[in-house]
Amino acid sequence: MTARRPVLVGIGLLAGVMSALFGVGGGAVVVPALVAWCGRDQRQAVATSFIAIGPLSLAAMIAYALHGEVDVVVALPLITGSLIGAWIGTHLLTRLPLDVLRWIFGIFALGIAVRMAFGTAEATGTVDHGWRLVWLIPAAIAIGVLAALTGVGGGAAMVPLMQLGYGLSAVLAKGTSLLVILPTSALGSWRNLRNGLGSLPEALWIGCSGMLAALATAQLSVRLPQGVADRLFACFLVFVGVRTLWPRRA
């Protein structure tokens, strides 16, 4: 049964804000919300989230692109690896037990929270467009697998990778991350729907509801100090991770 539309719209608005503010797909909001508020199990929540992050990422990416904050050259190897990883991850999603998926999501959220709270992902000032970009492919494969298993776009891992390893500014890394999420979400969504996972109507309500919120929030994000954004997102991810790993009571 499809969840109540006002609930889905609320999830979409919050996910749109998070997507634009932090350069992520918004799945860190969508997955736990679908589990807690709509009664979906972890596997169905992940699959629905992977569909919903497509329109959210598109809206936020357009806003970043209008400010010139998308690097297509860096995005290409990330897209290549992420597509491979998403293919593998969606295959595993149908086979791993629900408790395993829940732990993967929770630990991933807490790990990224620690990095964002205490890391120092500062750009070097010069973007590296050299041969070292090839190393983004295996890194993106791993990120794509995690993205497909957790229902997030992978931006929380891609953004610091681009900053620390390739000299992108925080804002440029966020915009580029959102571009990478688009084809990854499309492939993963197609695979999940073929496997009978995810709700297209729920995903469209969430994704389309959050598009305007993502467009508006991106205007703030391009001006927000990176340290502030990182720590805000770290606090949110701690909440999400603990909420996911906390034992369920009958």
CA separation for the pair 88, 94 (Å, rounded): 11
Total-model pTM: 0.86
Q: What is the pLDDT of residue 66?
A: 93
Q: What is the pLDDT of residue 210?
A: 94
Residue 2 CB-density burial (10 A; 0-12 exposed, 13-18 middle, 19+ buried): exposed
Tell me: the pLDDT tens digits for 65-104? 999 999 999 999 999 999 999 999 999 998 888 788 878 8
The CB density around residue 80, as the number of other CB atoms within 10 Å, is 18
Q: What is the pLDDT of residue 250?
A: 35
For the chain, list residues with pLDDT below 50: 247, 249-250
Secondary structure percentages of the chain, helix, strand, coil, to 5 = 80, 0, 20
Q: What is the pLDDT of residue 123?
A: 55
Measured between alpha carbons, how far is residue 22 from residues 2, 143, 147 in Å?
29, 16, 16
Q: What is the pLDDT of residue 29?
A: 86
